[in-house]
Amino acid sequence: MTREDLINIAKNAKKNAFVNWTEYKVGAALLASSGTVYIGTNVDEPAIPGLSNCAERVAIQNALSHGERSFEAIAIVGSKNDDCDNTLIPCGVCLQYILDICNNVDIITYIEGEIVSKKVKEFLEFPYEFNK
């Protein structure tokens, strides 16, 4: 599966975002090592914003709920309209979540209008890593 394929799946997922509060739609497509793609969208919770959830975490939780434990890549897109923002990277919470659960995935997104692929540690200069 190409980076563009995953981006297109994330774009389709973005259409289902539940964003009555922020109006900012995000879609994510997570490729498991099995070849299955799991999608996620952001979900706004206007009454208690802390209960909102990001598309990246929803996609990861979707995959985990289906028994997946090994992942290749996650594509992320977002905007307030049908286009995609020129630069969108996961928030700090999602970066930490990715680091903790699927730390070797390629994060595919738009940066300065170009599709790029980076590892989580390229976004988190000093990540928190819990020593078990």
* Residues that are catalytic: 56
Integer Cα distance of 87 and 110 in angstroms: 5
Partners of residue 29 on adjacent β-strands: 39, 75
Integer Cα distance of 71 and 103 in angstroms: 9
Residue entry with tokens 């994510």: 28
* Token pair belonging to 69: 């434990």
